[in-house]
Structure 1
Amino acid sequence: MTRIRSRKLLTAAALLASCATVFAQAWPTRPVTIVVGYPAGAGTDIIARTVAEKLAPRLGQPVVVENRVGASGVVGVSTVARAPADGHMVLVAPNTVYIAPHVLSKGTAAEQAAMVKDLVPVVQLSTGTMVMVATPSLGVKNAQELAAKARQQPGITYASPGSGSPMHIAGELFKRAAKVDMNHVPYKGSAPAMTDLIGGHVQTLFGVLGSVEPHIQSGKMVPLAVVQKERSPLAPQVPSMAELGFPNVETKTWYGVLAPKGTPAPVLDRLNREINAVLDMPDVRDRIRGMREAPVGGSADAFREVTQREFDTYGRIVKEFGIAAD
């Protein structure tokens, strides 16, 4: 009886595996939607459209980017978290999706955390470089000089695109490492923060390389350090926080693809495989590097480790510094 039962279980398992394989081979049966929780033209939108354009012919179906804007990306997350888990709707998001549950108000944070648990990592698309910059009038050339000046002149300001953003967290890490008192000035986005830095209303700023680089090249901003352990190949002339004596000041940005929890494994595997193939295309890599991002790719397991590590790390940092969103 035990042998018969085991044989039946093995037969059922083989049948289920066969059905899943057939489903994956048939997928997609209609257009695939990539949801972006930010406006058209934002970094998340640009990288999503770059991937979508090349992914469509590989899947044999249109791949449409849909902007579901609102609540700092939460609308996009909720749209995909509640979508049917059949592989026809996925999310392209920045790493803020794993910071938001820690910095939002209690009720919203709990809802966001639940939504994040309803998503599974598919593949990491890229990683970005964050840079600390200053207005030339401040008279400092690197983060070490800034720290020395901030000790003499407490209250130097640093801007970020919003409370609870990776840039805000980078600023708090720097303040602790440098043992300085600096005033955080949050903005609603990077553009107004950079405008005020150029206008002299704030003195320093944490921003992504792609946004600040044109202003560095024009001389309107001075790069003080990249916010990581090593120099970035995208900005090799800028020293790292670690080499300037601040090894624990490290915050990265990235974009990745997430799918509804319960999406069949064969579909997730194919999505990962096809997107990796897209990321290997020279013109796609060039376009991503043109955004001042480094293409990543790799397995879903590797990306899952990144998301879990960052969720835990940011949770500890946010709690330690008492950071909350505006």
Structure 2
Amino acid sequence: MSSNHKRNFTLGLLGAALAAALPFAALAQTFPGKPITIVVPFPPGGGPDLAARVLAEKLAPKLGQPVVVDNRPGAGALLGAGMVARSAADGHTILLTPNTMVISPHVLPAGAGGGLDVHKDLVPVISPATTPMVLVANPQLGVTTLKAALEAAKKSPGLPYGSPGNGSPMHFAGEMLKSAAKVDLMHVPYRGVGPSITAALSGEVKLLFTGLGGAVPHIKGGKLVPLALTEKKRSPLLPDVPTAGEQGVAGVEVNAWYGVFAPTGTPAAVVTRLNKEFNDALQLPDVREKLAGAGLDILGGSPQVLADFMKADNERYGKLAKELNIKAD
């Protein structure tokens, strides 16, 4: 090939690359072109719903479009996640979910998510927050410590405990406690944090594993009794409540992260823009105050942070599901 031909060939390749990049650059500049929907795969009233609504309020003026929250509960977060995965890959429909979405495929029957592969069909945008988890009791149970709750469970085999759903981190916490303390507890799954807390408040279940945020108001009001944090350390929101480990039950350490995802195929420029706007919103003092008050630890950062969370949880909970024989019940 002559030097002129080589030069023309190289210029042609560069031109083609630039032409291919132009639509993505243009999309980043024009995005969003219509309202944005944040799908939350749980009912209203829980931590994910609160986080989505607090952030949506701040994102709307920055993006110049309305940002609405759409609650789509079911199938351990896989129903809402599947809806997002099947939507147009343009950033206008995104998902905000706890890590239940990554855990559910290890617990629910094959096909529960309609063929969704959470690792291939969705791309990470940001992890806005994490949340500690707590074991609480209805005052009717008459216990104020983890030790007393375990004694009650030994006297009443099959004592029910609630969680926000099959495959949730709270479900795993309950099964880990059963194994570590060698007690017989019966799992009662609900369709989200809100319904599970309602059940605990009414006495339908006397024990509940839940995110700290949804429980704090009821703990402070004396309607729920905190027994233990399922963390390595105590929470500033409940500094007097010890961890399970501090109370002699080792290995019950589970927490939850929240993740924002877009459909696979969403242009990188759009993911970058969404990541920036979420990060900016997380720095606003009133946002930080509202999320912290709801028991959430603000995180943020790059999409890779969320990708690393997904990988670690997929490996950990896949192993735990087999070891503890956790399945949908």
Q: TM tier, shorter chain?
A: 0.7 to 0.9
**2 CA distance for matches of 1:280 and 1:191?**
27
The Cα of 1:148 is off from its aligned counterpart by: 5.9
Q: How does 1:1-326 map to 2 (within 5 A)?
A: 1=1, 4=7, 8-108=12-112, 111-112=115-116, 114-136=117-139, 138=141, 140-147=143-150, 155-190=158-193, 193-194=196-197, 197-198=200-201, 202-326=205-329
Q: Is the 8 A contact 2:102 2:118 kept in 1?
A: no
**2 CA distance for matches of 1:272 and 1:162?**
29
After superposing the two structures, state which structure 1 stretch, 8-17 or 44-53, moved more: 8-17
Q: Is the 8 A contact 1:126 1:295 kept in 2?
A: yes
Deviations 1:72-100 (A, max 9, x none): 53332122101111122111112211122
The Cα of 1:260 is off from its aligned counterpart by: 0.6
The Cα of 1:304 is off from its aligned counterpart by: 0.8
User: What SS is found at the alignment partner of 1:111?
Assistant: coil
After superposing the two structures, state which structure 1 stretch, 266-275 or 163-172, moved more: 163-172
Label 1:46 to 1:8 Cα distance change in 2 as closer, same or farther (>3 A). same
**2 CA distance for matches of 1:198 and 1:41?**
14
The Cα of 1:105 is off from its aligned counterpart by: 1.3
**2 CA distance for matches of 1:36 and 1:189?**
11
After superposing the two structures, state which structure 1 stretch, 21-30 or 7-16, moved more: 7-16
- The alignment of Structure 1 onto Structure 2 pairs a total of residues equal to 325
The Cα of 1:70 is off from its aligned counterpart by: 4.3
Label 1:136 to 1:263 Cα distance change in 2 as closer, same or farther (>3 A). same
User: What SS is found at the alignment partner of 1:35?
Assistant: strand
Q: Is the 8 A contact 2:76 2:165 kept in 1?
A: no
The Cα of 1:33 is off from its aligned counterpart by: 2.0
User: What SS is found at the alignment partner of 1:39?
Assistant: coil
The Cα of 1:311 is off from its aligned counterpart by: 1.9
User: What SS is found at the alignment partner of 1:55?
Assistant: helix
Label 1:230 to 1:7 Cα distance change in 2 as closer, same or farther (>3 A). farther
Label 1:84 to 1:197 Cα distance change in 2 as closer, same or farther (>3 A). closer
Label 1:215 to 1:118 Cα distance change in 2 as closer, same or farther (>3 A). same
User: What SS is found at the alignment partner of 2:115?
Assistant: helix
Q: Give the TM-score taking structure 2 as reference length.
A: 0.86
The Cα of 1:150 is off from its aligned counterpart by: 5.1
**2 CA distance for matches of 1:67 and 1:157?**
27
Q: Is the 8 A contact 2:107 2:321 kept in 1?
A: yes
User: What SS is found at the alignment partner of 2:39?
Assistant: strand
Please tell me the residue identity of whatever aligns with 1:81: A
**2 CA distance for matches of 1:276 and 1:77?**
22
Q: Is the 8 A contact 2:179 2:324 kept in 1?
A: no
The Cα of 1:24 is off from its aligned counterpart by: 1.0
- For structure 1, which runs of at least 5 residues remain unmatched after alignment? none
Structural RMSD (CA)? 2.8
Q: Is the 8 A contact 1:161 1:190 kept in 2?
A: yes
- For structure 2, which runs of at least 5 residues remain unmatched after alignment? none
**1 CA distance for matches of 2:218 and 2:53?**
26
The Cα of 1:284 is off from its aligned counterpart by: 0.9
